[in-house]
Each structure stands twice: as C-alpha cells, then as structure tokens.
Structure 1
Amino acid sequence: MPIDLTKIRAIDVHVHAEVSCHDPEDPVMGQFFDAASAYFKAPRERPKMPEIVELYREAQIAFCMFTVDCESHIGAKRVSNFEIAEFAAKHDDICIPFASIDPHKGKMGAREARDLVENCGVKGFKFHHIMQGCNPGDQVGYPIYEIINHYKLPAIFHTGHSGMGTGMRGGGGVRLKYGQPMLVDDVAVDFPDMKIILAHPSWPWVDESLSMALHKTNVYIDLSGWSPKYFAPQIIQYANTQLRKKMLFGSDFPLIHPDKWLDAARGVGFREEILPGIMKDNAARLLGLT
C-alpha cells in the first residue's frame, strides 16, 4: 500500500535501524552506541524495526529508515540492507527503505546497490563518511554514486560534528574532517541527477551547507540530529526565505524522538506557512510521493 499523504502529518527522512531483528547487537558498534547515547542524553537500548514502525504509525509520521555500513573502517558488522528492505516492504504505508553501502566496497558495492534498487524497492541511500573513513569526494565511492545517479535517487550524506565517537579515546578513530559539507560539492557536480541531502545542521560548517543548497539544484538539507532550539540563526533565516523548499524534517531517531523535534520546531521562528513544507511537502516532492 503506497503512502497516503492525507493520512500522515510529517515525513522523517532520517531514522536509524541500528539493530537486526535476527542478530545480536554488534559489540564494536555497541561502543559507539554507548558514546552517542551519553552525548545525546538518550536511552541506551536500541529499538528494533517493529518497535520503530509502531511508534511512527501511531504518530502518523512516514519515515526513511537505514543502517550505516562502516564495516571497512570501524570493523562493525552492519545491519543487512536486505533485511531493512524486506521489512519496509511489509510496512510500505509508512516506511521508506534506504540502504547504506561502505564506499570502500567499490564495484561490488555498486552491484549491491543496483540489486537493492531493481529487486528490493530501495528508494535512496545513506553515507556517513566520518564512520566510513573516507572523503565523500574520493573516487573510491564513485561506482556506487553512478548507480544512484542513474536511477535519480536521493542520497543522504552525514555532515558536521558526530555524536558517534564523541568522548571515546581518539574519537573512536573517527575523523571529523570527512563531515565537512564542501567535500560533497564535487559529488553534486559530477552526479547532477543524484538528489543530495546534507544531513544535520552541519556545525561547525553551517554556512557551507546553506551555500551548497542555494547553489546546486540537487542539494537539500535535513535538519536532523539537533533540537531546533539549538539551530544557528541563519538556518531559520534561509528556511524562511531562499531555501524554503530545500529544508527537510529529520529526527535522527532513536537519538531524538520525532515528536520532541517537531514540538521544538514550532517555537524557534519558522514562519507558520513554512512549517508544512519542512515537515512533509518538501520531502514528499523529493521522494517522488507527489
């Protein structure tokens, strides 16, 4: 059953499936979950996919769900993209499957990407180059980007600071430099049919994301990972004006609850007529739901 936009009040483009329904939590990934939960002051227990879909269905919020594949750099076993796609297909009235493939997997990763799109109904991709240990513009990821570009699908790129690794010795081996938004600019140029979503407000490089979304027709911003009450003023300014059709609601669940994000967004200066676009309409157009 396709998503009925009249029956949902928002679309959350940034929801993590961090544990499998079948396999135990990966112990290496668990160390990063510990650190992220401490940083966000969020519950440590990670919900499984049935719990996530129940929460979002009750809240009348559709959502994009994905894992993060960082097997090469961090050495943590990923949740299967195929498991997420299969689960989402059973709940397609509310859940939109995205996939994550470590850029280091190159052409084999591109084969997986094509399979996921053509045979499993995946509607977009997620990259977290800080956790994947490479520059977003590095040629190693280009075979995967080519598939995404070919199908004109969206891809979410983590930008800015990361709660993953915060407080760990040596940051858990995570290098924040790979979260600089401008590193994605080459990708936006070289793959103009890929709809690039710069995830998070991108602190401390906020203005870079705003500039890219203003300059590139295929670049958008999701506002996940931060409560709106902490947004830099220029985010509100551009959301209300030139980038009003480029800003997307994202929570970063399970670290931030979607209702908590939406409640905060109503009190930070977004114009009343702008909020419906941020909450639902912009994402609906981007995801091809309208």
Structure 2
Amino acid sequence: MINGKTVVYGIIGNPVAHSFSPAMHNAAMRELGINCVYVPFCPPPEKLGEAVAGIRALGIAGVNVTVPYKEAVIPHLDELTGEAKLYGAVNTIINRRGVLTGHNTDGPGLIKALREDYQFDPGKGPAVIFGAGGAARAIAVALARSGCPELAVVNRRFEKALKLAEMVAAATGTQARAFHWDAGDRQLEEFTRRSALLVNCTPVGMAGGAVEEFPLPGDLPGKGQLAYDTVYNPPRTPFMVRGARNGAVVANGLSMLLYQGVLALEEWTGLAAPVEVMRRELYKQTGISE
C-alpha cells in the first residue's frame, strides 16, 4: 500500500510504455516486503536534464535508464562508477542523499544471462555485435573482459563502430574490428561465420520499431551459434526467427533484462533479489511459457 513512507524507484526512457521493468521490479519489491514502488517516466529529450534534476528534488531513490538516454544522461549526474565510465553509458542511477551516481548493469547482466541461462562461455569464440549505442558499448566491453577472444562491431555509421572497436581494444586488449552495415561485405560474412555469438543491440525488430534486414547471408545466424537479441518485445524477434530457421540457439533480451534488473535492485536496496519471482513476472508479461 502506497503511503507517506513509500520509497519511489522508476525507469526513464522514450518510449517507455512497452517496458516490462515496472512489473518485474514491483513484483520483487512485494516479495521482499519493502515499502517501495517502481514507476515509468517518459521525459522528452529536451527535458532530460530537468527530469534528472527531479530525481534529486523529489527524493526518488533510483531509476533505470533506457533508450535513448543511456549516454545522454551522463552530463546530468554527479558521479559515475568505474564500469559506467568505461562503458560510456548508464542504465542505473542511485540517489544517495542527493548525490546521483550512474552505474551500468547491462554488460554484467548479459554475461550472467549467458552463463546462467544458456551455459555459454564468452571465451568460446569471437562475437559480432550489431549496433554501437549505449547497450552495445556495455556489452562489447563486458564480453571482452569475460574472455571473448575477438569482437566485431557492425553499425550503419561506420565511424561510431570504429570508435567503439578502438575503445574496446584499448581498454581490454581484446582484438576488435569495425564493419559498416553492408550485406555485401565478404569480410563481415567471414568473421560472422566463425563467430560463436551474435548479439543484436539495435532497435531492429522491436515492437512498433524499425523493420530491416540484418547485413548477413540468409543462412546466418546458423548452427553452432547463439543468436542473442537484446530486444524482448516481441518475444520472438525477426533476428531470432532467422536464427532458429538455420539451427542456431536463439534468445531474446528477457534474460538480460532480468539480470540487469537483479543487479540494479541489489545496488539500490542492499538486499538479495528474488530472481525467480522476477523471472516469472517477466514471462507473465510476455504471455509465453518459460
């Protein structure tokens, strides 16, 4: 029951109505028996700074940050954790007595999802990452730091892909390459064929979003590969459909959403998150069975 002592958490994004995070976190908070509530906020881009200032002014204890604000939010914060500085993106903000600290649980969340739910070791082989935004940055660094031997970043703006690849190489020592989003690139095809993991970090395939073909031959992703789509709504994305058709193991972003949420909740509250309660709520929101 919401009352004068209720602690408020939330999520900032635009759009944000599709997010399953409110249902997941509210289920967790009920299970933990804490007087908290988690709500969505959808500020327009020109009001982002005012929205972040509102976190401090209203005493909101913490928020998640989703697209398109994971990088844009940084100048409005007081400090960043080492992870957030390295990733250059923030997906979690903690408010401690008016000091707003940016964290990033996206990369660690994906690594935990790969290991816990898919028994996949990032050191198994090279990885291809589609996109070069905030989530891609976190995932690229996390994979490199978790033993991935070689990375490729594929993006429509080649300069952005190159910048991310160079940052990963400099920060981790892992070999990283950049490719333009070009279906005719033979070198990209060759790299993808020998990769163990393909990760979509773009909005392509998101409900209500862009519909576009990936720059891959029709038989990729394929057998022996894990095709991981950070999009989770719809629960079966075009990237997953093509991968399953070719015999790849496929996954949507629900597991990453789960574990990044688990890590964020534990950072906010200091309590062990009820992982299975959060997982069940996510699947309930999708309307699919576990």
TM-score (norm 2): 0.36
More strand as a share of residues: 2
TM-score (norm 1): 0.36
Considering Cα pairs closer than 8 Å and 6+ residues apart, tell me whether 1 or 2 has the greater RCO.
1
